[in-house]
Amino acid sequence: MWKFITYLILTIFAILWVFPMVSALVMVTKSNDDFTMLGFWGLPALSKIPGNMVNNIHLALVQAELGGNFLNSLLFAAMAGIGSAFIASLAGYALVHLKVRAPQGWFFGIFIGNIFPFQMFLIPLYLFLNTVRLYDTRLGLAIVYVGICIPFALFVYRNYAYTIPKELFESAKVDGASNWHSYLRIFLPLSRAAFIVVFIFQFIWTWNDLLFGLVLSERHRPIMTALSRLAGQRGAVPPTVLIAGALIASLPTIIILLSLQRHFVRGFTINTEK
What is the 3 state secondary structure string of the chain?
A: CHHHHHHHHHHHHHHHHHHHHHHHHHHHCCCHHHHHHCCCCCCCCCCCHHHHHHHHHHHHHHHCCHHHHHHHHHHHHHHHHHHHHHHHHHHHHHHHHCCCCCHHHHHHHHHHHHCCCHHHHHHHHHHHHHHCCCCCCHHHHHHHHHHHHHHHHHHHHHHHHCCCCHHHHHHHHHCCCCHHHHHHHHHHHHCHHHHHHHHHHHHHHHHHCCHHHHHCCCCCCCHHHHHHHHHCCCCCCCHHHHHHHHHHHHHHHHHHHHHHHHHHHHHHHCCCCC
CATH of the domain at 77: 1.10.3720.10
Are residues 35 and 70 located together in one domain of the fold?
A: no
58 in a structural domain: no
Task: Please tell me the least confidently modeled range out of 10-14, 206-210, 256-260, 268-272.
Answer: 268-272
Number of domain units in the chain? 2
Please report the pLDDT score of residue 268 as a whole number: 58
Pick the closest to residue 57 from 251, 257, 253, 255 (CA basis).
Answer: 251
55 in a structural domain: no
Are residues 22 and 68 located together in one domain of the fold?
A: no
Are residues 93 and 208 located together in one domain of the fold?
A: yes
Are residues 91 and 31 located together in one domain of the fold?
A: no
pLDDT digits (tens, 9 = 90+) for 49-74: 888 888 888 888 876 678 888 999 99
pTM: 0.84
57 in a structural domain: no
274 in a structural domain: no
54 in a structural domain: no
The pLDDT of 206-212, averaged and rounded, is 91
Pick the closest to residue 199 from 81, 67, 69 (CA basis).
Answer: 81
173 in a structural domain: yes
Are residues 190 and 261 located together in one domain of the fold?
A: yes
Q: In whole angstroms, what is the distance from residue 5 CA to residue 59 CA? A: 45
Are residues 174 and 237 located together in one domain of the fold?
A: yes
Q: Containing domain of residue 43, as a range?
A: 2-48
pLDDT digits (tens, 9 = 90+) for 213-269: 989 988 888 998 888 877 665 556 788 888 888 888 888 988 888 887 776 666 555
145 in a structural domain: yes
Are residues 17 and 152 located together in one domain of the fold?
A: no
40 in a structural domain: yes
Pick the closest to residue 221 from 60, 62, 68, 58 (CA basis).
Answer: 68
Are residues 36 and 107 located together in one domain of the fold?
A: no
Please report the pLDDT score of residue 270 as a whole number: 56
Query: Is the pLDDT reported for residue 211 higher than 60?
Result: yes
Are residues 79 and 133 located together in one domain of the fold?
A: yes
Output phi, psi for 216, to 5 deg: -100, 5
Are residues 36 and 101 located together in one domain of the fold?
A: no
Are residues 243 and 156 located together in one domain of the fold?
A: yes
Please report the pLDDT score of residue 273 as a whole number: 43
pLDDT digits (tens, 9 = 90+) for 169-207: 888 888 888 889 999 999 999 888 889 889 999 999 999
Rg over alpha carbons for the chain, rounded to the nearest Å, is 23
Q: In whole angstroms, what is the distance from residue 29 CA to residue 42 CA? A: 10
Q: In whole angstroms, what is the distance from residue 171 CA to residue 173 CA? A: 5
Please report the pLDDT score of residue 30 as a whole number: 87
Please report the pLDDT score of residue 264 as a whole number: 63
pLDDT digits (tens, 9 = 90+) for 17-49: 888 888 888 888 888 888 878 777 788 888 888
Are residues 102 and 131 located together in one domain of the fold?
A: yes
